[in-house]
Amino acid sequence: MNNLMKNITNYMIAKGIYHPSNLKEQLLVDLQITDTALNLADTKL
């Protein structure tokens, strides 16, 4: 399980969606992801 978490963490860092040492940047990413999710939820299919 430890290796799986390490791989997921490394993937998220490489994709720019996880910033473990920069809380300000992480907050900006989290807000952007939240905004995207809310916009998708409002989309009429």
Q: In this predicted model, what pLDDT tens digit does every residue of 1-45 receive, in sequence order?
A: 799 999 999 999 999 999 999 999 999 999 999 999 999 988 876
Measured from the Cβ of residue 18, the count of other Cβ atoms closer than 10 Å reads: 17
- Hunting for tokens 């952007």 — which residue is that? 32
String of DSSP letters for the chain: -HHHHHHHHHHHHHTTS--TT-HHHHHHHHHHHHHHHHHHHH---
CA geometry: angle 27, 30, 35, nearest 5 deg: 125
State the pLDDT at residue 44: 74
pLDDT of residue 14: 98
**pLDDT of amino acid 42:** 84
Q: Are 18 and 26 in contact (CB under 8 A)?
A: yes
